[in-house]
Amino acid sequence: MERSRAFVTKDEATTFVAQRMVGTPVRTASATTFAVMAQTWQAAQVHHRASTARTAASALNTLILPTLGDFTLAELDRATLQEAVGEWAATWSASRVRVAWSYVTSILTLAEQDGLIERRPTGVRLPRVETAQVVPLTAEQVQAIADAVPAWWRSMVVVGAATGLRSGELRGLTWDRVVGGVVVVDRQLVGVDRGAPVWGPPKTASSRRRLALGAIASDELEKVRGDSVGEDLVWRTRLGTPLTRTAASGVWRDAVSGMGLRDRSGWHELRHFHASMLIGSGLSVRAVADRLGHADPAETLRTYAHLWPTDDERAVAAVDAALSNLRSGGSDGIGR
């Protein structure tokens, strides 16, 4: 059975055909540079959202290509790649290095699939990401933030705390998605183009959800509704344009100044607060994951496991209750 083969350049295809015609063995190690392969990979990522494409382009241009771009695919062995990772780790955060490495492996996997290399190198060690435990805001801190933001932002703080919406979901909320005390999440704001919102799908399929608001959040929304209807954004600038992530971050920083929150605190803190309230109320991992729109309860546990109260005391009480009839001063023959 004849198998098709893809080539990055016309010259490479011509060489392959010529070698086949004269019976010369075809080498699998390609002379194609990593930079050329990266371009091919980028063009193939048609499923990427605009924000993901920008992230990948930034990682390639600032981190990956300056280090690996001029190497041919055949030159990229494990030692060379390990040296590159070490160079990145000396300057960049561990999380950014890991993201960059995920793009490198995807590009090399494509090269392997296209037959340009026999197999991609493995065994490269990556820096460990030290993840700090989430310390959620207190109810008093949320109240202080709501009081500190400009008046028309107050409802955004309250709804964020009451629903756990992500920033893009919150800033992209429109009035037709607020129905009978329920928020419908089926899209998010991913950008602004000449003053108009740019919509994107939710982060994952599980992020599509319906969330009850509660009386306090509903009341706050009614205060700002006015004559807004349909696809009017709930929160927007005074010019009626969507709120950018940068603008929202600036308002947040001003509101929490002097509160001693962690570095790079942002609107996501309201999502953590919401999760902590659900956990403190005794909701299961599955219920919290569904409310937050997590794709997998394991993600919820990785982020918030330390907030669930331990069951040790209840376990001991249950064991003592079950064994209570066995309590005695001792029994003849036992231990003799």
Q: Is the dihedral of CA 185, 186, 189, 195 positive or negative?
A: negative
Q: What is the pLDDT of residue 309?
A: 78
Q: Is residue 332 situated within a structural domain?
A: no
- The amino acid present at 309, given as its one-letter code, is P
| 29 or 161: which leads in pLDDT | 161
Does 25 have pLDDT greater than 60? no
Across 153-157, 217-221, 299-303, 312-316, least confident range: 312-316
Residue 86 sits in the same domain as residue 160: no
CB 165 within 8 A of CB 272: no
Domain CATH code at residue 53: 1.10.150.130
Residues 143, 45: Cα–Cα separation, whole Å: 43
Residues 43, 107: Cα–Cα separation, whole Å: 11
Q: Is residue 233 situated within a structural domain?
A: yes
Distance of CA 199 to the CA centre of its chain: 17
How large is the average pLDDT for residues 186-214?
92
Domain CATH code at residue 181: 1.10.443.10
Residue 224 sits in the same domain as residue 271: yes
Residue 178 sits in the same domain as residue 65: no
Residue 105 sits in the same domain as residue 153: no
Residue 99 sits in the same domain as residue 158: no
Residue 179 sits in the same domain as residue 32: no
Does 236 have pLDDT greater than 70? yes
Residue 156 sits in the same domain as residue 60: no
Domain end (from 113, 128, 153): 113
pLDDT interval class at 6 (50, 70, 90): low
- Parent domain of 209: 139-307
Q: Is residue 312 situated within a structural domain?
A: no
pLDDT in tens, 113-172: 999 998 999 999 999 987 778 899 999 999 999 999 999 899 999 999 999 999 999 999
**How large a percentage of the chain has pLDDT more than 70?**
88
Structural domains in the chain (count): 2
Residues 51, 223: Cα–Cα separation, whole Å: 33
Q: Is residue 280 situated within a structural domain?
A: yes
pLDDT in tens, 72-87: 999 999 999 999 999 9
Average pLDDT, the chain: 87
**How large a percentage of the chain has pLDDT more than 90?**
67
Q: What is the pLDDT of residue 211?
A: 96
Domain end (from 44, 78, 113): 113
pLDDT interval class at 34 (50, 70, 90): very high
Does 231 have pLDDT greater than 80? yes
Residue 204 sits in the same domain as residue 300: yes
Q: For residue 200, which of 89, 25, 52 has the smallest C-alpha distance?
A: 52
Q: Which residues contact 224 (CB under 8 A, 6 or more apart)?
A: 152, 155, 234, 235
Q: Is residue 216 situated within a structural domain?
A: yes
Residue 186 sits in the same domain as residue 272: yes
Q: Is residue 250 situated within a structural domain?
A: yes
| 39 or 226: which leads in pLDDT | 39
Q: What is the pLDDT of residue 3?
A: 47
Q: Is residue 80 situated within a structural domain?
A: yes
Q: What is the pLDDT of residue 24?
A: 39
